[in-house]
Structure 1
Amino acid sequence: MKKAFILAILILSVGIFAYVNPGYESPIVAVVEYAAPAVVKIEAVKQTTSPFYDPFFEEFFRRWFGYSPFGGQQTTSLGSGFIFDKEGYILTNEHVVSGAREITVTLLDGSTYKAEYIGGDAELDIAVIKINPDKELHALEFGDSDAVKIGEWVIAIGNPLGFQHTVTIGVVSATGRRIPKPDGSGYYTNLIQTDAAINPGNSGGPLLNIHGQVIGINTAIVNPQQGINLGFAIPINTVKRFLDQLVATGKVQKAYLGVRVKTVTPELAKAMGLKVDKGVLVVQVLENSPAQRAGLKENDVIVRFDGSSVTSDSEFVSLIRSHAPGDTVTLVVNRGGKELTIPVTLGSATEEIPTATVQAREFAGLVVDEITNADRENYRIPTSVNGVIVRQVKQSSQIQVGDVIYQIAVSGRTYEINSVKDWNSVVDRIKQGDFVAFFVYRRGTKMIYSFTYR
């Protein structure tokens, strides 16, 4: 009798406390099942050097201890990526794969492939690598990041801290965010902010909408000691502007406006009698530039760039360089207290390069070129600084794209570098075992990088 009573109570309890939504499945499950096979783990082996490099002490350590603490050390960078073309093309962040000697890609099923670096851009922080699959691959579809709304669901898939194919969810917290780059080289612009958990190792992975479309590439996080659940993704529409040329040539052509600007401060506004205290002051309009053709004038204050507010010269340059040549943008300008709206069709940063330039020799993984007006605009290089500009860095180095090399010292003798011809003349005479120092100008700072050429 007692057993029957207990059984009746259990049956009644099941009826009262039955779970709700039987048969329901979260739509996020469907997104993950669809997208996960196209998300990859990336391991990039890099060669690193110490910033405290000294050639004398390197020789000392090699002779007496058999190794150098200043260079030749291998590190492995871990990140994520996703297949966007069934032929094996993969999108990721440039900082994940730049300077890599070897790149290994692991798929969801555990299969691994060696990947080829196709090309990338450090400013945009996007890169394309390629594998040669022995089976049919699943590729993700691009969405429209311009249509993203604050509050909509997003899903991040990646390899945070090495935990492969980790899924996190959240919402779009904000759009149009700008944050400074860790190396101080400029700003990430127009980012998507999300509270979906993004950690080291998520870099390069997709941020997906509820339809399984890629709306962004996860790229940055806020220091966990400062805040949590603040992650940022590069909008996929920004990537789409450059993707075809990146796949075809391994490089991207950047937009060019043709102005030199200065951040407006309250002091500058008072000194010049400006009617606004925020924006960038046009110091110079370059001849035959898109800016001149659009009617921009010196002492104009640019306050908005294609819908984004402008607060500093470095942010302004980053906004220009997030566009491709031929894009038409709208500038809001304050001219003597009157606000004007000026459409501008951006030019190419390469349109200023002379057609008869001398071909530069590649040296120590560096590809250099003559400095153009577009370079001076984009990298804020004053006319008093001459040399050659670094266009590409093919191996891990402290030298960055956009640096100006203005002197080279070789085994005790220093040479002035004013052109590609000077560069070729100097690097042609450098031999293995020579002590070499590059004198570099980077955004208002002069630095020296030394090494033993091997």
Structure 2
Amino acid sequence: MISFRLLLQQGCIVLKRFWGLFLMSVLFPLAAGVQPVWALSGLDGTTSHNFVADAVSQVAPAVVRIDTERTVQRQPFDPTLIDPLLRDLLGDPGIGPERERGQGSGVVIDDEGLVLTNAHVVERVDAVSVTLADGDQHDGSVVGTDPVTDLALVRLDGGTRPEAAPLGDSDALEVGDWAIALGTPYGLERTVTLGIVSSLHRNISSLGFSDKRLDLIQTDAAINPGNSGGPLVNGRGEVIGINTLVRSGPGAGLGFAIPINLARHVSEQLLTSGEVVHPYLGVQLVPLTARIAREHNRDPNSLVELPERFGALVQSVLPDSPAERAGLRRGDLVIAAAETSVSDPQTLLKQVDQAEIGVPFSLRIMRNGQEMSLSVNPAALPGLS
């Protein structure tokens, strides 16, 4: 039987070895002139600021607060639902228009005073007021909104215009990159939160927003009401996205941003014509993988056999749509679009977004185990007014 004294002695030897290795791992790099991670990041308190402060200083002067007003019609109500005593004291509230106020954020993207923000911040408003980082207030005019991507462009009317924020490349992002959110949540100006890029190409339809066509950046940087329209910034101080609040309640720790490359493309169209025309085919798609196909094909009740490969599976076709006129059917698997391989619905939608209205668009599909080509003429996405 092993004695307690022997166990204690062996434990002491293990602890001594552990602390010896720990001190070697810390002291040897210091003796060699190598800085530990916390010193490089400014977390040891010996430096006046770190990379986050440097990144924020590049963008903060271009971040603005947007206040809006609009007229809404007060809805009639049943007076019998109010306690008679309160009705006698307060009287019957009138039925008529009233002013509704809203608030969001934005970022100046050029030296002409153009501000990029969310469409839901400035849609159908009567007045826009823009507060700059230095506290100056200016009237703003809405150049245009695009509800499909939830983006809008506002122009500063007169006054001094701040320097534009540097724009980055959202296509170069990787999961794990730094993400810094700036804005005015709950009206609290000059608020900064820090996180990382948690995921890329997050499909907004999976979040319950079927009326939007977005491929989002997911981040754990806090994005709260009022942050909408503000910039998401990388560690170099470049704008990589436009914050958009799309989820509350459960999952409130998740933030999402619209990639800046898409926002730049949309803003150019809004500046040119005041609106964005989105091509569409008129199909509902689901992703297909080899595993999903195998599980489907094993089902004795399945009516069709699916190819065991990646692609965008047509779940339904809208009546009188470009897809129906081109001959697409439920169960077709789209494997290529405009000579580009299609591995999922997002890839196909990206190709459709780049198509021109009315110009033939080639699709390569699989139907009943056979490959075939179709030509479809994309139309303008209806129902945006």
- Taking structure 1 as the reference length, the TM-score comes to 0.59
**Which of 145, 159, 177 pairs up with 1:120?**
145
Distance 2:152 2:354 in 1: 16
**Which of 94, 100, 111 pairs up with 1:67?**
94
Distance 1:219 1:269 in 2: 44
- Is 1:301 the counterpart of 2:336? The answer is no
Distance 2:153 2:111 in 1: 14
- Give yes or no for contact 2:113–2:161 (8 Å, CA) kept in 1: no
Listed one character per residue, the Cα deviations across residues 102-122 of structure 1 (whole Å, up to 9, x for unaligned) are 111001100001100111111
Listed one character per residue, the Cα deviations across residues 146-177 of structure 1 (whole Å, up to 9, x for unaligned) are 11100011111001111111011111000011
**Which of 219, 225, 228 pairs up with 2:244?**
219
> Partner of 2:134: helix, strand, or coil?
coil
Distance 1:290 1:143 in 2: 39
Amino acid at match of 1:44: T
| Higher-helix-fraction structure | 2
Change (3 A) 1:53 1:123: farther
**Which of 140, 143, 166 pairs up with 1:141?**
166
1:441 matched residue in structure 2: none
Structure 2 gaps of 5+ residues are: 1-38, 81-86
- Give yes or no for contact 1:282–1:300 (8 Å, CA) kept in 2: no
Structure 1 gaps of 5+ residues are: 1-17, 350-373, 376-389, 393-454
2:51 matched residue in structure 1: 27
2:8 matched residue in structure 1: none
**Which of 228, 231, 255 pairs up with 1:231?**
255
How many residues align structurally? 320
RMSD between aligned residues: 4.2
Greater C-alpha Rg:
2
| Higher-strand-fraction structure | 1
Distance 1:181 1:125 in 2: 16
- The structural deviation recorded for 1:210 is 1.6
Q: Percent identity?
A: 32
> Partner of 1:280: helix, strand, or coil?
strand
1:161 matched residue in structure 2: 186
1:173 matched residue in structure 2: 198
**Which of 39, 60, 69 pairs up with 1:36?**
60
**Which of 301, 306, 309 pairs up with 1:275?**
306
- Give yes or no for contact 2:179–2:221 (8 Å, CA) kept in 1: yes
- The structural deviation recorded for 1:229 is 2.8
In the TM superposition, 1:27-106 aligns within 5 A as 27-49=51-73, 65=92, 67-68=94-95, 71-106=96-131
- Give yes or no for contact 2:175–2:197 (8 Å, CA) kept in 1: yes
Amino acid at match of 1:335: R
- Is 1:108 the counterpart of 2:133? The answer is yes
Change (3 A) 1:229 1:260: closer
- Is 1:204 the counterpart of 2:229? The answer is yes
Amino acid at match of 2:263: V
Amino acid at match of 1:237: N
- The structural deviation recorded for 1:188 is 4.8
- The structural deviation recorded for 1:222 is 3.2
Distance 1:269 1:167 in 2: 56
